[in-house]
A and B are shown apart, each in its own frame.
Chain A
Amino acid sequence: MAVDILKEKYRGQVREVVLGATKDEGGTRSHTIKVGGEKALPFLHFEGEIPNRPVVAMEIWDMVPDEWPESLKEYFKDVYNDPGAWAKKCVDEYGADMVAVRFKSADPDLNDTSADECAATLKKVLEAVSVPLIVYGCGKAEKDNTIMGPIGEAGAGENLLLGVAEQENYKSVASAAMANKHSVIAQSPIDINIAKQLNILIAEMSTPLLDRIVIDPTIAALGYGIEYCYSIMERARFGALQGDKMLAMPMIGNICHEVWSKKEAYLPADEEPGWGDQAERSPAWEAVTAMALLQGGINLLIMRHPEAVKMVKNNIDDLMKDNSY
């Protein structure tokens, strides 16, 4: 029999969020990047428009990443003392679409870097590269609340993507975004209802921020609970297409943050001979984590290993090819 192609008719679509700002828009970026906007499930071009390809950002730190495995550090050994040069290498040599700056050194248990120093580092990175930036604090909420304001000011008008707003602690990041025209990462703990609730809370602070939220539903690494995140993403995406506007934000995942603390990524082959060559295994672990989440509907991926970035970008190229019947 001849097959009649089935196309789902959706009422909704994913919101489109613009990241970065050019000179005309009050920033200094050479271009902006759009994420989201799709009217179909991941890469099903045959049933709806998918206007923007998923974006790969590479993560840099404001300090030497001692805890990264040697095989990964090798790629950045000439630049990781200099966040500007590091960012530039990610963009120019490794093809990062965006750069995610993590102010790791602000951690009170590490260097306890001051807000002013963080702001100065951000300025250096803004000068070094022209792509839109993502900004993360050190991960300790108390300290991050004190640095996000000054960082937001230092990047005023650049439409940075600021992380992370959480249900218990969203005001400082959301305020920093409101005050200086940035976007916000809203992070919820693998829970679709909290994801919605947090978006509502942020919208109560500022309605225009609704179009500048990117959801981080919290991801896990391959082999460590990724299936929960995969299903949460699929549900959120399907919900958005069915018209749930409070779930319709694009989604981001900090892939590298999860992957690189896992044995499969860092253990040398002589400790686990059955797992094969580590130089090849570790980027593969990061890339396959990204691959799975792309199938779940992720829009923005933060990664570390240059070879994994290459694998994922090639995969996205293949998946963005039209498959209309």
Chain B
Amino acid sequence: MGLTGLEIFKHLPKTNCKECGFPTCLAFAMALANAKISLDACPYVSDEAKEALSSAAAPPIRLVKVGTGDKVIEMGDETEIFRHDKRFNHPTAVAIRVKDDEDVGAKVDTINNLVFERVGQQYEVEMVALVNASGDAGKFKAAAETVASKTDKNVLLMAEDTAAMEAALGVLAERKPLLYAATKDNFEKMTELAKEKGCALVVKGDNLSDAAELVDKVVALGHKELVIDTGSRETSKVLADMTQIRRQALKKVRSLGYPTIALTTEEDPREELMQAGVYMSKYTGVLVMNNDKKEHLLPLLSWRSNLFTDPQKPAQVEPGMHVIGEATETSPVYCTTNFSLTFYLVEGEVSSTRIPSYIISVDTGGLSVLTSYADNRFIAETITKALKDCDAESKVNHKKIVIPGAVAVLKGKLEEESGWEVIVGPREAAGIGKFAKTNFA
């Protein structure tokens, strides 16, 4: 269904003005054909051309935005089934449910507090899902006021009663919340509200086909900022629906070309965590859950951070000095690259020696030992620089550094360059245990 680059090129101004960021109109056309950029990037395209191109050149899954300013959450605009083909663009947004008939303030405080520090990264929950559990518009509005005053997180407003939705929007519309949900019974009024306030809207069906039909009806009313809920709630069924939506959208089935939302149903927090993990793994754009336990959200958000990394870029750890155990000024100093897999292997082996140590990860741009050696990123100069950058001399009372056996050849040059004595370690991380026993025990 998509147009080729050449077909798109015919509609462009052909001035090669470069304002789109591409060197030529043809290059821009090629990028459009691959859905890598939007037509809006061309300042001079005519309205007729826009009309002709917009539907064909639009990304297969619409990019939908929730929130404003630097809090905007983008969802959709995905192009892949498998992450190894190309990066998944937008990490699943996690929303924690708050019911309007419970202590809204206390619950929002808990959600605000769901911020984690791990491996030099910060993870957090980005949405509050405010549920109209009371069925009362006044209560929903009051709860929305509490949310507005307590947090600057994005909001998912969950009410099928349009009067309640309107009341809460009276408080929160400026935040551009995501509205849940348009159903077959309320979609006309709900769509009108969403359009009027410029908010994205969840379309909720009774099943996959039903959801697609309702999407068409809402689009016919002139609103395209949509998110799909197929209404399925069984883990295995949701997995099937999410997979269908992703596959069909990528084949340009327009009625399914939107991001998705998944709602957990398991009551036991542990079971809910597992269910949430499945939905996150398989394509949901927004995940709505009850669980607000730190010990459960830490693994879930860590998985998100792993899953949405770019498979074409090697994962890296922070360059610098890493402390293993209660290291002191007499502890051994190892060095390796900052490619995460290499580093974690070395870290694991060093920590299982039970000898407190330091590991200096040298910034090799995430390349492994031999590759970065070949690329001049893991050599005497860079290791010396790393020693200086982390001020290793002030941390230990010796000047001895262990280098990977695979780059034993660096010994002479590194000793000269750094003034440190170089001990050649084992070729493989697996040999560190024995090595440490011989040298440091």
Contact = CB atoms under 8 A, between A and B. Distances in A.
Contacts of B344: 220, 224-225
Nearest to B271: A314
Contacts of A278: 295
B209 A44 contact: no
B270 interface: yes
A319 interface: yes
B274 interface: yes
Given A220-B344, A264-B302, A321-B234, A231 B295 contact: no
B437 interface: yes
Contact of A323 (B118, B239, B352): B239
B253 interface: yes
B343 to A, nearest CB: 9
B83 A231 contact: yes
B236 A287 contact: no
Interface in A4-30: 5-6
Nearest to A223: B302
Interface stretch (B135-143, B151-159, B305-313): B305-313
B201 to A, nearest CB: 19
Interface in A86-104: none
Nearest to A320: B236
Nearest to B237: A323
A231 B294 CA distance: 27
The B interface is mostly helix, strand or loop, or mixed, namely helix
A227 B83 contact: yes
Contact of B216 (A1, A220, A230, A295): A1
Interface in B230-252: 234-237, 239-240, 243-244, 247-248, 251
Contacts of A238: 82
A274 B117 contact: yes
Interface in B277-304: 277-278, 281-282, 293-300, 302-303
A34 interface: no
Contacts of A292: 277, 281, 303, 306-307
Nearest to A190: B341
B239 A43 contact: yes
Contact of A222 (B247, B303, B340): B303
Contacts of B360: none
Nearest to A292: B303
A228 interface: yes
Interface string B175-202: 0000000000000000000000000000
A61 interface: no
A325 B299 contact: no
Nearest to B251: A6
Interface string A255-289: 00000010010000000001111101100110111
Contacts of A124: none
A223 to B, nearest CB: 4
B256 interface: yes
B440 to A, nearest CB: 15
Given A275-B116, A275-B294, A43 B236 contact: yes
Contacts of B84: 231, 234-235
Contact of A276 (B277, B295, B340): B295
B346 interface: no
Q: Which has the most chain A C-beta neighbours within 10 Å: B281, B303, B352? A: B303
Contacts of B247: 6
Interface in B209-239: 209, 212-213, 216, 234-237, 239
B208 interface: yes
A82 interface: no
A295 B277 CA distance: 9
Contacts of A109: 433-434, 437
A318 B275 contact: yes
Interface residues of B, number: 61
Given A1-B216, A6-B244, A225-B341, A288 B300 contact: yes
Interface in A227-245: 227-228, 230-231, 234-235, 238
B235 A318 contact: yes
Contact of B282 (A275, A295, A325): A295
Contact of B294 (A1, A276, A295): A276
A221 to B, nearest CB: 9
B278 A295 contact: yes
A239 to B, nearest CB: 11
Given A227-B83, A281-B298, A321-B234, A287 B303 contact: no
A174 B277 CA distance: 37
Interface in B344-383: 344, 348, 351-352
A238 B405 CA distance: 37
B315 interface: yes
B295 A227 contact: no
A280 B309 CA distance: 27
Contacts of B209: 1-3
Interface string A293-316: 001000000000001001110110
A116 interface: no
A20 to B, nearest CB: 27
B422 interface: no
B119 interface: yes
A241 to B, nearest CB: 12
Interface string A37-79: 0000101111000000000000000000001000000000000
A204 interface: no
16 contacts: A222-B303, A274-B116, A278-B295, A280-B296, A284-B298, A288-B273, A288-B299, A291-B278, A292-B281, A295-B277, A311-B271, A315-B271, A318-B236, A321-B235, A323-B234, A325-B240
Interface of B: 82-84, 115-119, 208-209, 212-213, 216, 234-237, 239-240, 243-244, 247-248, 251, 253, 255-256, 270-271, 273-275, 277-278, 281-282, 293-300, 302-303, 305-307, 309, 311, 315, 340-341, 344, 348, 351-352, 433-434, 437
Given A6-B247, A292-B306, 18 more contacts: A1-B209, A2-B209, A227-B315, A261-B348, A261-B351, A264-B298, A275-B294, A276-B297, A277-B293, A278-B295, A284-B270, A284-B273, A288-B299, A292-B307, A311-B273, A315-B271, A319-B236, A323-B237
Closest CB pairs A-B (n = 6) = A276-B295, A276-B294, A281-B295, A323-B240, A288-B299, A231-B84
Interface of A: 1-3, 5-6, 41, 43-46, 67, 109, 190, 220, 222-228, 230-231, 234-235, 238, 261, 264, 274-278, 280-281, 284-285, 287-289, 291-292, 295, 307, 310-312, 314-315, 318-323, 325
